[in-house]
Structure 1
């Protein structure tokens, strides 16, 4: 195409463009970047797509992971497997064994303790130490036992270091598994022993005030009781626990 532009004028215009920063020619003709996308692939729609910030999937929290894993467990074996593969809780790294449960799956009573101790961590079963032996004697006084009508688990399946009190975050992570555990057993009565299990299922604290009074959780009656380890340290409280055991016995008899 011939141009009527004088060479000196063309040179002057080119030098002016270079001074203004336009030094990289990309085509013979100017591009209207505000043209419609149908007429120009570099229009507004294309620019918006190119500049759009990708939306990243939110990171799933350990509680959400636990909820999905627990909900997907249709049997006790599946629930145990789900717990064994759950890596959201740091306690798992320092524990010897997963302490899942003990007792009879068709039990009328589910006892929920707090967390495994040293003996439980070694054996992989809840309440096998001195406190567990005392618990067995307590239950026997009202005709209950692991072998026939009691099922025992804990809020935490792994031992906390130095038997420390479980944190709120740890309880929140494990609670979906505890709830699913109880749903699969479907007991008549739930007994929560100690502050941790009472807080987990009833969202209430103060076991010495709450013990002996019936509550409800998961559509079932719940009886808070003092932990057997506490009774071994405070024998005077055994009288109150005996009254709680009789209340449990009466509830099962009347039910």
Structure 2
């Protein structure tokens, strides 16, 4: 019975407190509110979307002038080995990723005749050597007919307008030529030939700003102060036999000019 009295007594006291307005539980021990640290609640920050500052714009990726980068890298090269290293380190030409080989030059550096060719073709890219395959066979016959060779006595020096083969054997784009021309001009400067042969449309476009071999061939021009002669490339002569007569005339003109400068 004692437990029943305690229950009803307790319930009556609780009901009385509810009637008096108590609406939460009371701790078992008394709390001295004056002894508690006075902490004021942090004021709520009212966020007004209309007054919020917009987020800062993302940082822009700096645009690289790829032609200027090539110009700077080429100018810094003090010799042919340095130029080769600078071209290998140049990362802005997409042709580099797809080509098998980097083809810098062929022949003998310092030779009086420097032959600038179109970009390496598929055969060159496979072999890792300039003027390979059927075009190389015809090329050797062409220069051999006027007493020149790739190596040894009366050697020539050769360099492609671009060191990588464009995929699908396509012609280089104007952007690719513009990008790599600073290296080509520096190559001529460091090789210091007495005569330059522009063997194909791409070298003429890069260095003369013109193309169309039927109009350009057979006429001496100047490239950076060096006499230069546009000549049909072997790849064109393999499919255009009628042009071989003009090519022979151009080779004879090269032979005569070479005697004048050496």
TM-score normalised by the chain length of structure 2: 0.74
Whole-angstrom distance in 1 between the partners of 2:191 and 2:120? 20
- Map of 2:114 onto structure 1: 110
* TM-superposition CA deviations, 1:13-70 (whole Å, max 9, x none): xxxxxxxxxx99xxxxxxxxxxxxxxxxxxxxxxxxxxxxxx9895331111111111
Note the 1:3-152 alignment, pairs <5 A.
59-147=63-151, 148=153, 149-152=155-158
**Per-residue displacement from partner, 1:192-218 (whole Å, max 9, x unpaired)?**
011111111111121111101100111
Deviations 1:116-167, CA, capped at 9 Å, x for gaps: 1112112222112211221111101111111143011111111101110100
Matches within 5 A, 1:86-235: 86-147=90-151, 148=153, 149-235=155-241
Query: Cα RMSD (Å) of the superposition?
Result: 1.8
Tell me, in whole angstroms, the C-alpha distance in 1 between the residues paired with 2:125 and 2:74. 22
Equivalents in 1 of 2:60, 2:171: separation in Å?
A: 37
Distance in 1 of aligned mates of 2:192 and 2:94 = 29
Unaligned runs of 5+ in 1: 1-22, 25-54
Q: 2: CA distance between counterparts of 1:165 and 1:122?
A: 18
Tell me, yes or no, if the aligned pair for 1:194 and 1:226 is still in contact at 8 Å. yes
Say how many residue pairs are matched. Answer: 204
TM-score by length of 1: 0.76
Larger Rg: 2
Match of 1:233, SS?
coil
1 CA distance for matches of 2:181 and 2:137?
26
Q: Aligned partners of 1:179, 1:212: CA distance in 2, in Å?
A: 22
Task: Tell me the residue number matched to 1:8.
Answer: none
